[in-house]
Structure 1
């Protein structure tokens, strides 16, 4: 598997930095929640939260696109929920949440969340694929079991994973509500926690609503994107995308005004605009060498249906990321 080819970069020129005045207008099947995207020379693939109580047991769903604009449903990952989930948690989740795809040199890693609303009896699991085919994205996955776990009484929630590799090391950021976002170092090959790895706090709102971390290394700095406030309420959702910046992957992350993200800081990247309500659940992904952001929003004009949006990240003169306005 290869990163995006030059021919696809040319095909994307119309929505590249020189031409775009708004974020891209997407078409096809873009009903999605918590998107994670991988761009290859054979096309784009998205992974997303599964459908509650579906016959497939709510495993992550996939979509494909030749260009990132027009999307087609390609189905859920087969096999249902792995037995370890119910054995570990003591209950069987209605679906798996917020899968996050990471492409290594030879292996594609897919982290996912097993939980239920309002509880931190949660776990992050891992699937791997050593022969990933972007034309058949549901094939070839092997479940590798649990990565990490949170229990009642812990001050964190083991959901919403996102992996970043830097300087020969790998890290997993995760978290939702409770006391915020944590990070743990991974063994780059197994994708599971490194020996003696400790949890590192990187963002918190003191028990307030913060989740869905995503990390970007850009021009010698690290950027932590998170969602503030409430998702999953249709057009009443108040999600908004925030960001902070650090010189080291482990932090400290500060917002534009210098407020630490561990003290509730965050600089706004995307809030609701017009029919686009509650944008969040974001992830960073790469189109060639350029960073993009994928997220979902709730379409006010279609009854609050959650939908996919992707857009290139721009950086202002002070190095802060921003997005173009939403399309009409």
Structure 2
């Protein structure tokens, strides 16, 4: 296709042969969102469409509220030549965008993946721009992979699905990997954005050392783990989010925690995310899977998530500012599985540092409450009628919400800021968060609950009238 340039000064390429005006959040796969210095949100996603051929270059969208999105174009004119020559890719996958630099000026870096389905001949490349809107300039391949012999008995990592993690001291890591070889972490040179000296391969060679193994699944599950995202836990340590299983059906999101970016990571029951001898459907805390709320659409295969962390100003009646974290991910429609689109949800932390996500999609700042001092503090809020989901119970099926009271509770403790703890009937210790939200099905303000017990069982619930 012939590329033209938008009339904006950014020079983001677009394609006049496609009618993208109605795309909005449709055709979004493997998304990541950032906010520029003016408060505008930019969404980057895989080159994928449900109704036609792929146009390569990384899809870009723009929003002022994280609810309504306008298609902006493509970041690049196509698959950069070095990545295309190595992988044979016709489109780019799973972009990761981060801002780096000093107070004197900053640069935006985009790590993109080039591959084809079922192949390990893949590459992660790097492009840079002065602004999320562009113009983007390709810098070359950062790491590549091939159908190599497995090192140390494990599948060789597949060089896709980049996630850049920055520690408080500026140390950076490239977390990457997918089916076949699992999730790995390599140190980055923060100044260049490429793999650090001592770990970088010679020109034209693969990585002899793929980095530290973070997560791996048994062959019984086809090694199906990908889309990793690592983020800091409140109070110290790190959390790992990964997607399990089949992209078009049983895809779902799981979590684990660790003390260091390169692991090891364990689930709530203490199982290592690298344990290939355990039941591959038992390892990891399932935080989101396919579901249908009463009266709402069926949500299939939620996953490949990133997290947008931002400090937002307080309302006029409040003091200071608040940290907001939102899970940005794709879903498919249960009644039309080839259709894929964007969803955004609030991410919360239990009092003991576990990440959970809301059962209701984000409805915009006007309908949401970021000030945790206004979140429920009275255990009586747990009474009443709720619509409940238990993610991961059977990811192969779309789970229907169950209406009724929450499970019985003893020794309930209110810990402030919407945090609660109690003992379940079977003796399990439960950590929970309750916060204001918007019921998108019923069109009303409500409360949402996210709870996790010490066996790894998760409950997501919406308070009903």
Query: What TM-score do the two structures reach when normalised by structure 2?
Result: 0.60
Q: Judge conservation of contact 2:29–2:48 (CA < 8 Å) in 1.
A: no
Q: Any idea what SS the aligned residue of 2:266 has? A: coil
- Write out per-residue CA displacement over residues 165-188 of structure 1, whole angstroms, 9 at most, x where no aligned residue: 102210010111112101100000
* Deviation (angstroms), 1:306: 0.6
How many residues were matched structurally?
A: 291
Q: Structure 2 matches for 1:210-229, cutoff 5 A?
A: 210-219=225-234, 220-229=236-245
Q: Judge conservation of contact 1:56–1:76 (CA < 8 Å) in 2.
A: no
Tell me the residue number matched to 1:36.
Answer: 32
| Counterpart Cα distance in 1 of 2:287 and 2:330 | 14
1:270 aligns with 2:288: yes
1:161 aligns with 2:176: no
1:66 equivalent among 64, 67, 75: 64
Q: Judge conservation of contact 1:60–1:96 (CA < 8 Å) in 2.
A: yes
Tell me the residue number matched to 2:358.
Answer: 324
1:290 equivalent among 315, 318, 324: 324
Tell me the residue number matched to 2:81.
Answer: 83
| Counterpart Cα distance in 1 of 2:337 and 2:263 | 39
* Deviation (angstroms), 1:300: 2.3
Query: What TM-score do the two structures reach when normalised by structure 1?
Result: 0.84
* Deviation (angstroms), 1:318: 2.5
Q: Judge conservation of contact 2:84–2:90 (CA < 8 Å) in 1.
A: no
2:349 equivalent among 301, 315, 324: 315
Tell me the residue number matched to 2:217.
Answer: 205
Q: Any idea what SS the aligned residue of 2:84 has? A: helix
Q: Judge conservation of contact 2:59–2:75 (CA < 8 Å) in 1.
A: yes
Tell me the residue number matched to 1:170.
Answer: 172
| Counterpart Cα distance in 2 of 1:157 and 1:256 | 27
Q: Structure 2 matches for 1:4-15, cutoff 5 A?
A: none
1:259 equivalent among 253, 257, 271: 271
- Write out per-residue CA displacement over residues 155-206 of structure 1, whole angstroms, 9 at most, x where no aligned residue: 2100000001102210010111112101100000211100112511010003
Q: Any idea what SS the aligned residue of 2:93 has? A: strand
* Deviation (angstroms), 1:304: 4.0
| Counterpart Cα distance in 1 of 2:186 and 2:76 | 29
Q: Judge conservation of contact 1:209–1:229 (CA < 8 Å) in 2.
A: yes
Tell me the residue number matched to 2:108.
Answer: 108
Q: Structure 2 matches for 1:89-100, cutoff 5 A?
A: 89=87, 91=88, 93-100=89-96
Q: Any idea what SS the aligned residue of 2:227 has? A: strand
Q: Any idea what SS the aligned residue of 1:87 has? A: helix
Q: 1:79 to 1:28 in 2, by over 3 A?
A: closer
